[in-house]
Structure 1
Amino acid sequence: SLRCSCVSGLSGVDDAHVFISSGENVRLSCNNALPDCTSTTWIYNRFSHSETVELIRLGIKKKNTESYERLSLGSDCSLNIKNITKEDYGFYICQQYVNDQQQGTDARVFLHVLHVSSSSSSSSQTEISAGRSVTLFCQLYSYERVSCDDWIRSERINLFWVNQAGDKLTRSDSRYQISAPDHCISSLTTTLLNEDHNREWRCNITQRNQLKTSATYTVKISGEKTILSESFRPS
């Protein structure tokens, strides 16, 4: 079941940060909206030196965007995006225009997308035999990717794997090889056992010890095959 990760509007010029897992739905609030949304324009940048894309202009969706089918404008002028992909990360700005003049300040929202993938396949499901080694990658896609380490340290953000009981998997666990090439990626390598049927490996992201979102991989074993599929769970 899909979940909305909603962030209430922050006052003044504060930026909002929204964390979401790929596959979920998200609502980005516009805290400077005028009534009826006909003055609302939403623009987007994937990263600081990328081209700005206009998603909504004066309350109307722009047709030439990749995400056109998945976008809608809420009655409160929020931007709703369905079935988030890792490509949706970035910097969203809500602006108000009346008679071609901008009213008030930008309302800025940073969208950070958590995505888990497997070394065996680029798709979300793949078959592997028990006894085979598999590596799962958990990555946070973020506008601040260039300075990921600095940003994550300053915001006290942690990315880590947990077992079904919710206990953090550590490097001292001999069954798992866990490595973090940088603060925005964590990989987990393990050899699949028959008793891994229906076992979940979940990647959590926390900010100041508060869970923001998580993405889960579940292993299914049918006959001699092990099927690895991606599923999501509300934080």
Structure 2
Amino acid sequence: MAVQSRWIKMFVSFILMLQFTGAHSRDLLLSFTVRDGDKVTLPCENVINNHHNCDTTTWIFTDSRGTAAVELVNHGQIKESDKSDRLSVTAECSLVIKKVTAEDVGRYTCRQFIGNPGRQQGPDAVVYLSVVHMTEQKNADEVTLSCSVSIYERCKYKVKWIHNSEALNRDYSNLKSSESPCSATVTFLKLAYTHISTYDFNCSVTTEDNKEQLFTFSTQSSGKKPGGILMSKSF
């Protein structure tokens, strides 16, 4: 009985350790979805207290194509790269990316190093960045709006068009919509919809944990307004 009791205690301790580790990992794992052309700030969740000018912080980028990881920030300093002119680091060691493009989609890892040579301190803080892209195609008598999301891994998002707060989950007269993984289109006749604007359409992007963002249609982000409205929903 004593042996059995000891094994039970060990098993319970192991389960509690897994739960704590899982919760801690979730605290250091974030994701953002923004419009192309917008600015985004990626927080570093493992910043060391009393850091000076982020001299312990390094940011590493891995794109969605599986190419080698690139160091964007080394000990708080922006490194030369094809996107370095769009990068900056805040006082809290967050990474700021201006004029986001599909090339910025990927995994961003914030790491802390102390000493010389540097020794990594604590776990990685990871941020996944996804980017929404919208297009408009005009033919002689109809208009087609497209919305797609580029993500780091396989598509886990639901994308659909909404018009005047109503989901286009069925075909209307003179208005057709279609959805596929991480993309959606809506086509309408110009003559039938002369009284509305394309800005009446919103692209709804819902993550696997039911966080929804609405992106008002525009072919190019102005940079003056947030890329999307974040909402919570239940299915």
TM-score tier after normalising by the smaller chain length: 0.7 to 0.9
**Equivalenced residues, count:** 194
Aligned alpha-carbon RMSD (Å): 2.3
Tell me if 1:143 matches 2:142.
no
1:210 aligned residue: 211
2:25 matched residue in structure 1: 13
The verdict on how the C-alpha distance between 1:203 and 1:47 changes in structure 2, with shifts beyond 3 A counting, is same
- Per-residue CA deviations over 1:30-65 (Å, capped at 9, x if unaligned) read 1111222101110111126222111111100012x2
Q: What secondary structure sits across from 1:87 in the alignment?
A: helix
Deviates more, 1:165-174 or 1:78-87: 165-174
What's 2:169 paired with? 170
Unaligned runs of 5+ in 1: 1-9, 121-127, 218-228
Do the aligned residues in 2 keep the contact of 1:114 with 1:215 (CA within 8 Å)? no
Higher helix fraction (1 or 2): 2
- Cα deviation 1:131-173 (Å, max 9, x = unaligned): 53222221111001xx32xxx2xxxx4211111x211123321
Among 180, 189, 192, the residue aligned to 1:191: 189
**Alignment check: 8 A CA contact 1:21 1:213 kept:** no
Quick one: distance in 1 between partners of 2:220 and 2:96?
23
1:204-226 CA deviation, whole Å, 9 max, x = no partner? 11234432342413xxxxxxxxx
Structure 2 residue identity aligned to 1:53: V
CA distance in structure 1 between the aligned counterparts of 2:203 and 2:133, rounded to whole angstroms: 9
Tell me what 1:222 maps to: none
Q: Which amino acid aligns with 2:107?
A: F
- Aligned equivalents of 1:76 and 1:213: distance in 2? 28
Matches within 5 A, 1:43-58: 43-47=60-64, 49-58=66-75
User: How far does the alpha carbon of each residue in 1:175-222 deviate from its partner, in whole angstroms, 9 at most, with x for none?
Assistant: 222122x321111222223323565322111234432342413xxxxx
Specify the SS of the correspondent of 2:148. Answer: strand
* Alpha carbons of structure 1 residues 46 and 111: separation in structure 2 relative to 1, 3 Å: same
* Amino acid aligned to 2:200: E
State the AA in 2 paired with 1:30.
C
Give unmatched runs, 5+ long, in structure 2. 1-21, 230-235
C-alpha distance in 1 between matches for 2:102 and 2:77 = 25
Q: Residue type of the partner of 1:39? A: T
What is the distance in 2 between the residues matched to 1:43 and 1:213?
29
Q: Contact between 1:21 and 1:215, CA under 8 Å: does it hold in 2?
A: no
Matched, 1:108 2:106: no
Give the aligned partner of residue 59 of structure 2.
42
Larger Rg: 2
Paired with 2:47 and 2:82, the residues of 1 have a C-alpha distance of 25
Could you tell me the TM-score, scaled by structure 2's length?
Answer: 0.74
Q: What is the TM-score with the length of structure 1 in the denominator?
A: 0.74
Instruction: Give the counterpart letter for 1:75 in structure 2.
Output: A
Alignment of 1:63-102 (within 5 A): 63=80, 65-98=81-114, 99=116, 100-102=118-120
Distance 1:174 1:50, change over 3 A: farther
Identity, % of aligned positions: 30
